[in-house]
Structure 1
Amino acid sequence: MNHLQDKVVVVTGASSGIGAVSAKALAARDAKIVAAARGQEALAQLVTDINEAGGTAIARLTDVADIADAADMQALADFAVERFGRIDVLVNNAGLMLFSFWKDGAIDDWNRMIDVNIRGYLNGVQAVLPAACCARSPATS
């Protein structure tokens, strides 16, 4: 039995690395992919690759760390629900690691990592959780 068939999966950080590989692997198991990232060309290529391989994928440019009330992540969740009617899974993958020396006091780098790796993660949960858990009755979960 394929437990991923027709599940709607939102994948952040989907334009490269673990996010892209996860999106392709989930699509190969018949999940419907909503790919999100900041890299438009790589995101478009990912969606093309998945769809040409027989999967189902759509994309939305998204900045997970939009701290102006997490509007971009909410727009992503709304987009997924508008297109597929629900969200079953969030692969909250977007993240970054900036390399700088402690002695340089790279506070801007540290703040960006906090914005993406912590606030972005929380923004994703906040946006997706209501659609993922509250839109179904217990009998269909």
Structure 2
Amino acid sequence: MGYKSWFETHAQKHEALVAKLKTQGIAGEALVAYFVFENMVKCEPDFCPLYARGKKCHDRAYLNCFLCACPHFRFKDEGLHVRENGVVVKSVCAANARFAKRFVYEGVEHLDCSACVVPHNKAFVRKYLGKTWKEAMQECEVK
């Protein structure tokens, strides 16, 4: 699955879950609390493939899953550019986060954000509560 197809699939899943929660009266701070990792594993086990293994994408005590991908994550399935060594770069961090790492697999460089905590804390999530996940992520794909 490429970045674009994952993005579209996850946007639909997120929008459906938020709509369901809103019909149950869950909004604002209650929505932030609902998306905490431990609650999502228990209440929404099919939302993320890592939930079935009880595994977090980031090794943090507090992990909020509302913004599963970070608005600073930029991607392009066909590649952003090609390095001198022929490696195709498909994703980067627009904020140049100091915790961002890169890995190369089969000639393609990907961003490894697993050490970053930016999109998974309460303050960051609160900034995007009035938007759908897709709206919050609108700038993710490099056009």
Q: Structure 1 length as normaliser, TM-score?
A: 0.25
Higher helix share: 1
Q: Structure 2 length as normaliser, TM-score?
A: 0.25
